[in-house]
Every structure is written in C-alpha cells, then in structure tokens.
Amino acid sequence: MVQHFRPAFMMLLLFTLLTGLAYPFAILGVSQALLPFQANGSLIVQKNGPVASAIIGQNFTGAGYFHGRPSATSAPDPADATKTVDAPYNAANSSGSNLGPTSQKLIDRVKADMEAARAAGLSGSVPADALTTSASGLDPHISPAFALLQAAAVAKERKLPEERVRQLVQDNVEGRLLGILGEPRVNVVRLNLALDALSPAAAP
Amino acid sequence: MTMIGWLQIGLLFACVVAAAKPLGVYMARVFSGEKTFLQPVLRPLETAFYKLSGVDPGKEQNWLAYAMAMLIFSLFGFLSLYAILRLQAVLPWNPQGFDNVPPDLAFNTAISFLTNTNWQSYVGETTMSNFTQMAGLAVHNFLSAATGIALAIAVTRAFVRSSAATLGNFWVDMTRATLYILLPLSIIVALAFVATGMPQTLLGSVDVTTLEGAKQTIAMGPMASQEAIKQLGTNGGGFLNANAAHPFENPNAVSNFLSIFSMLVISAALPITFGRMVGRDRQGWALLAGMGILLIAGVAIVYGSEAGGNPLLTALGVDPSGGNMEGKEVRFGMAMSSLFVAITTGLSCGAVNAMHDSLMPLGGLVPMFLIQLGEVLPGGVGSGLYGMIVFAILAVFIAGLMVGRTPEFLGKKIEVREMKLAMLAVLILPLVILGFSAVAAVLPSALASLANNGPHGLSEILYAYSSATGNNGSAFAGLSANTPWYNTTLGISMALGRFAYVVPVMAIAGSLAAKKKTAESAGTFPTTTPLFVGLLVGIILIVGGLQFFPALALGPIVEHFTLLAGKTF
C-alpha cells in the first residue's frame, strides 16, 4: 500500500501542472492570439463601451424593442441574502425554471402570460418559445414566428412601416448550417441593434 | 418529429461510428505499448513522469495491486481537491473574490469530480474561482476519465492473457490514457470550441450596459479548455450552472454537435479497442451494437415525447408544433435537445443542454432509466466498457443455463466465483439508489428540497440518487441539493457507485486472467452473433426493469397518466 504513495502524490502533482495549468493556459494563449473576439465573450462594443455579448440574451421590456423569451433566472434579494428575487436574463447566475410538465406553477405562469398577450392583441395559437422559459434563462434567440408576431407592435411604436420591420426580421433569420444543423432562429440582441440602426431617433 | 431532426441525429451517429474504428485501433496500440504517431512528442514526457514518480513501467501488477493503486490515487485526489475547495479564498485567480467552499459541499464536490460523476450541488459562476475550476476540477476531469479507461484496459487484458498473474500497471495505463488520448483530443476540441464562441479568458465577469441602459454582469472564465475535457472524459460538470445549455458553454448548433460527438466518441471506440486487443474485432462491434440499439431506442422515445409538446400548455393556446420548449434553447430545437438528453445519460456524462426536470414525463423517464441500466449505453469512458463486460458475462451465464453447458466468454470459463462477484457489482446500483431514495422520500428535511410536487417530486429524488450512484451527474435540477443531507448522502452514493462496483469487477478480471484460455469448440456459444446481441440487450433491460420498474411506476409513469388526465400538482 505504502509503495503507491509516492506515485500517487507525484502523478497528481505532475498532472495538475500539465492538465490544470499548462493545458488551459496554452489554450488561453492561442485563443487570445487567434480568436480574441470569441475568447473574450463575443462582446459588441459601441462608442460608450460594451453593450452586449452577441450570444447572451438581454431583458428587453420597452415596446420599441423585440422581446426575448421569458427567463427564470434570479438574483439574491438585496434586502435578505437568504432569499432570491426574479431577475430575468441575469448572466451571472444562469438557470432554468426546473418546473415539471404537471407543475401548477408552470400552468399558472403560462396562463398569466397568455392573458397578457391576448390583452395586447395577440390572437391564435402562440409559438411555444414565446411562453416558455429557456434552459439557461439567457437564450439569445427566438423563433422567426415569435419575432414576426411582434413586428406590428414594434413598427407602430417606432413609427416605421410594418413591412420594413418584417423585412428586418427576415434579414436577421439565421438558418441551419449547410441546411441541416440547428434550427432557424432570430438573435434578439442583433435584431434590436439592427432596429436601432434603422431608426435611431425612435430608440427609447 | 421531423425529417430534418432525424437527419441531424443520423449524421451524428454516422460520424461517431466512422471515428470509433480508427480511434479504437489507436487506443489498442497505445495500451499495447506499440508505436504511435504521437510518440516522438510524448514519449519523453511520459518517461519523465515515470522517473519523477518512481514508477517502473515494466513492472506489472496483479488485480489487487492495480485496484489498490487506483484507490490510493483516488484518495489522494480527493484530499487535494477537498483542500483546494476549502482554501479557495487564499488561492490565486479568484477575480470575484469567492469564499471558501463549505465542508459538506466540498466533500460532495471532491467525490463528485474524482468519481467522474460531476454532480454539482453548487452554481459554478457564483461559487468556484478560476483556479478551482482549472487546477482543481478540470484536473480530475482528466484523471477520473483516465482512471476509467485504465480499469477498462486492465479488464480487457483478463481476456487477452492466459494463465496470467498480472493485468498491467495502473500508473502506466493512467498516464498513457491522459497523455496519448485525452490531452491531444482536448486541445483540438477546446480550440474548435473557442472558434464557435466559447470564452477562454481569465476575467471572472464583464459588465455591459444593455440596449435599454441596464447593467448586465456576464460571467466569464476559461471555459473552452474545461468544456473540451468535460465532454471527452464523459465528466459533464459545467463551468456555469446551466451547463451546456448556457450560450457560452454551447454557443450554437456546431458546438452542440461537437459536444455530443466528443462525449460519445471515446466510449464508442473502447469496445473496438477491446475487440482489437482480444484479437476478435467482431466482438467489439457486437458489444457496440448492443449499446447502440438501446441508445437509439432511448433517443426515439425522448424525441417523440418532447416533440409533441405539453398538452396542458396546448390547451392554453400554445402552438404544439414547437414541442415542449420549457427548459430548452431555441438554437438546439427538439431533435438535438432530445439527442443530448439520451446520450448524456446513456453515457455517464451528465452534461445537459436542456433542463431534464422540465422534460415530459416519458421524456424524463428515459434518461433516468438509461442511468439505472448501469451506464453501459455506451457508458462513461472505461466504466461503460467494463460495465458492459459484466453484462456480457451475465448473458453467457444465462445462455449457459438454458442449454446446460459451462458458460464461457472469449475462451474464459465463467464459474461460481465470477458470477458471485458479477452479482455483487450489479446489486450495488439498486441497493444504493433505492435505499437512499426511500429514506429521502420520508425525511422532512430531504422533502423540503423538492421544487415540484406530486409524482414529479419523487422523480427528483429518484433521479438524484440514480445520477449520483451511476456516476452520471445530470439532475432534475429543481431539487435544492446543496444541503448537508443531500451533499453527504449523494457523496456516499457516488463513492459506492464507482468503487464498490469496480473492486468486484477487478476481482473478476484477476480471476479470469488466471484461467487458461480454452479453444473454441462446436459447443461454444458464439458471442459475436445477432443472437448474442439480442440476448445481451434483453438481459440489460430485464435486470434494469426488475430492479427499477416499481419505483419508476410511482414517479414518471404515474405522472404521465395524471398529465393525460389533465391533473396538475
């Protein structure tokens, strides 16, 4: 038994140096040199500094923007650190709702959101991604159907022709790679940046 | 379900099968000590490691010494990782100033990573410093995977050798697995991951001012290097809480495809290595076929149940054609989310790209059952292969009983001692899973951790102990597992699931290696035919079904029927 102590200790030490330090730092060096945009979080920088990561969703609330999916992320309650409060798109604490398919809480939440959507003038059946929370709470994408559904309201708020806004959505649909891999989707942050570029004056 | 969905699934399996052969043959060469193309670069490093550690690579070990070396290596790993977690605050690269990890969580996490489970009771981005992630957790992603591969190779040698006393040298096998297999693949995959958008930085987080003028703090870190080995080593422990569902840990369809490919490829190649080393390639393909059949059936059930959507939400006006999107990401869609669910649990990986807690009842049943089948479809790197060999021994034994002959597998007679040890190994899983689940289901402090009521609550408990004991690491994550009860009992479950399983398996290997290899005769039950594959699949299903069906009936199955009846909890 004791004869295994030295190899166990030394192997652990050597592999910690190799796989725990040399390996990640080698990847760090190469990726910072060759792929700095991706390696630093795909940040979109405008004149006043970074406004978004191109692949992390944001919590859009204004009527002049396309909205992302509901998000179940939370943050510590500033008043009581043992509790949490809802904080949609909290990119420092990713999380899904973890509600099961027979959860009353899930049904109540979807029902309330659906009523709000109906009150806002939405009719017919609503795309699933519009009323469900994502796995990470940070989903940057929505389905093209959900984006088109919002086009009329956004166009009205921005005082743009609806056709122009619908065209903007279509231009921002990302397709499948090689026509096979992935799902058609719209990146909400990029779409809203394009919208701001189109009518900066109307930006809230 | 759509054609394009199945096309994506088919493409993935085709790529894995295509890669399994060359990788499997390469691994057989590595562990047989033959020349490989990486030797000029890695041989000096390998030799230096042996010299510094006082290892004589020519000196072989019997099964007990091999197992002891593995256990002591794991114990040292546990102690060092526990120390890193407990001392995090004073160690470097802690940009967010995270505190030391509390004792029960450190205990759980240390066992979790060294058993290749990667159950995570914590939220990565609010708990672990960059140093802990790199020099603590990721190191054990390599070493626990390498240990699994080494054990599988030792068991393989039991069938290669005749009247042998030794099974190889643990230190040599473990070193070679890391240097020649895991590290080179990780470097390639990590760089590919960065190219898809995965961050690799020492920054802890970045603040951005959103388009609407709010402040958003975005967690960052050296993720790509860790993600690569997390998938390749079937570890599954994410850098961030949402794991491979987080846009940083899995930015797009390409990274998702590569993630699934990476987690599957070594486990799919190891049966080929086995076949090559025992001198019968067809045996490797037969084992792989058995694994593949059940895995594809699992994928089909998950995909079918998720793609139909949740009827309770359809009734409220949600379009069912989008499928059950709660807890899923738009960029992966139904097909690639469902595929991930089945593969991460057929393997003992446990990474997730969708929240398993929010799967439909039958969609959630599949991952739980795949874990309970013993993590052999195709299982964790190494652990899947030796688990499958235990089932193969069971299968030839039962076939032998049916025709009244002494069972043999690859020229080795399977006798009383091997059968007793195999049963011991097989019974660990139900004993630990059902035992702890039963206690947790009546213990008020354990029940307080549930996020869902009704049968789904029981599923959360059952899933947790299945995942821990099967060394999977995925979760019905609504369960608040960061409590002294769950941290302790899940920690014990993980240790038993790994070590109480592998020691009897090594004893079987020792016993088989000592036997003479007998020549095949007309009365030998052939173990490379479709008949054998069918028998093997049947045995896996029957053993798993008998053990776990009653518990599953009270969880996901009853939930399925209450859902159809429109009842909520």
Identify any residues that bridge with A141 across adjacent strands, giving them in sequence order.
A187
Inside any domain, residue A115 = yes
In B316-472, beta strands by DSSP E: 408-409, 412-413
B120 part of contact set with chain A, CB < 8 Å: no
How distant is the Cα of A10 from the closest Cα of chain B, in angstroms?
A: 5
Mean pLDDT computed over A44-60 = 95
Looking at residue B359, its pLDDT comes to: 98
Chain-wide mean pLDDT for chain B? Answer: 96
Interchain contact, B327 vs A89, CB within 8 Å: no
Mean pLDDT within B479-504: 97
- For residues B340 and B256, the answer to whether their CB atoms sit within 8 Å is yes
Whether chain A has a CB inside 8 Å of the CB on B354: the answer is yes
Half-sphere exposure at residue B463, Cβ-oriented, CA atoms within 13 angstroms: 33
Range of the domain at A82: 43-202
Shortest CA gap B68–chain A (Å) = 7
Q: Which pairing describes strands B408-409 and B205-209: parallel, antiparallel, or unpaired? A: unpaired
Cα–Cα dist B422/B505, whole Å = 7
Interface test with A, best of B47, B99, B329, B365 (most A CBs within 10 A): B329
User: Across the interface, do A19 and B310 touch by the CB < 8 Å criterion?
Assistant: no
pLDDT score at A203: 47
- Pairwise CB contact (< 8 Å): B352 & A41: no
Per-residue pLDDT reduced to its tens digit, B253-265: 999 999 999 999 9
Residue B543, classed as helix, strand or coil, is helix
Contact across the interface for A102 and B454, Cβ inside 8 Å:
yes
Average pLDDT over residues B373-381: 93
List chain A residues with CB under 8 Å of B318. Answer: 110, 114, 125-126, 128, 131-132
How far does the CA of residue B304 sit from the closest CA of chain A (Å)? Answer: 15
For chain A, say whether B6 makes contact (Cβ under 8 Å).
no
With beta carbons under 8 A apart, name residues in chain B contacting A56: 216, 218, 247-248
pLDDT above 90 for A202 = no
Distance from CA of B242 to the nearest CA of A (A): 5
Does the beta-carbon distance from B206 to A50 stay under 8 Å? Answer: yes
Whether B116 and B144 have beta carbons less than 8 Å apart is answered as: yes
Which token pair is A153? 């309201």
Q: Which of residues 253-292 of B touch A (CB under 8 A)?
A: 253-254, 256-257
Buried b (16+ CB within 10 A) or exposed e, B50-72: beebebebeebbbbebbbbbbbb
Task: Name the closest residue on chain A to residue B562, using Cα atoms.
Answer: A102
Contact B318 A125 (CB under 8 A): yes
Q: Are A178 and A164 in contact (CB under 8 A)?
A: no
How many domains is chain A built from? 1
- Predicted confidence at residue B502, as pLDDT, reads 96
In this predicted model, what pLDDT tens digit does every residue of B35-90 receive, in sequence order? Answer: 999 999 999 999 999 999 999 999 999 999 999 999 999 999 999 999 999 999 99
* Percent of chain B residues topping a pLDDT of 70: 100
pLDDT at B404: 86
The distance from CA B51 to its chain's CA centroid, rounded to whole angstroms, is: 32
Alpha carbon of A163: minimum distance to chain B alpha carbons (Å):
23
Q: Closest by alpha carbon to B242, among A161, A137, A87, A2?
A: A137
What pLDDT, on a 0 to 100 scale, did the predictor assign at position B523? 80
What is the predicted ipTM? 0.95
Quick one: pLDDT at residue A179? 87
Is A27–B135 a contact, with Cβ atoms under 8 angstroms apart?
A: no
Residue of B nearest to A193 (CA): B211
Q: Let me know if residue A2 belongs to a domain.
A: no
Taking only the tens place, the pLDDT of each residue in A87-96 is 999 999 999 9
- Determine whether the interchain pair B54/A102 forms a contact, defined as Cβ–Cβ distance below 8 Å: no
Q: CB of B97 within 8 Å of any CB in chain A?
A: no
pLDDT of residue B4: 94
Q: Are B460 and A80 in contact (CB under 8 A)?
A: no
- pLDDT at residue B223, rounded to an integer: 96
pLDDT at A142: 98
For B308, other C-beta atoms within 10 Å of its C-beta total 18
**Residues B509-541: tens digit of each pLDDT:** 999 999 999 988 888 889 999 999 999 999 999
Structure tokens at B51: 């010299």
* Partners of residue B76 in chain A, C-beta under 8 Å: 5, 8-9, 12
Question: pLDDT, tens digit, for every residue of A110-130?
Answer: 999 999 989 887 878 899 999
Asked if B200's CB is within 8 angstroms of A32's CB, the reply is yes
Rounded distance between C-alpha atoms, residue B225 and residue A162, angstroms = 45
Q: For residue A173, count other CB atoms closer than 10 A to its CB.
A: 15
Contact B521/A at CB under 8 A: no
The answer to whether residue A144 sits within a structural domain is yes
Is A126 a member of any domain? Answer: yes
Number of CB atoms found within 10 A of residue A86's CB: 10
B190 contact residues in A (CB cutoff 8 A): 27
Chain B hits for A10, CB-CB cut-off 8 Å, are 52-54
* Mean pLDDT on B88-94: 95
Characterize the bridge pairing of strands A49-53 and B408-409. Answer: unpaired
pLDDT in tens, B406-447: 899 999 999 999 999 999 999 999 999 999 999 999 999 999
pLDDT in tens, B261-292: 999 999 999 999 999 999 999 999 999 999 99
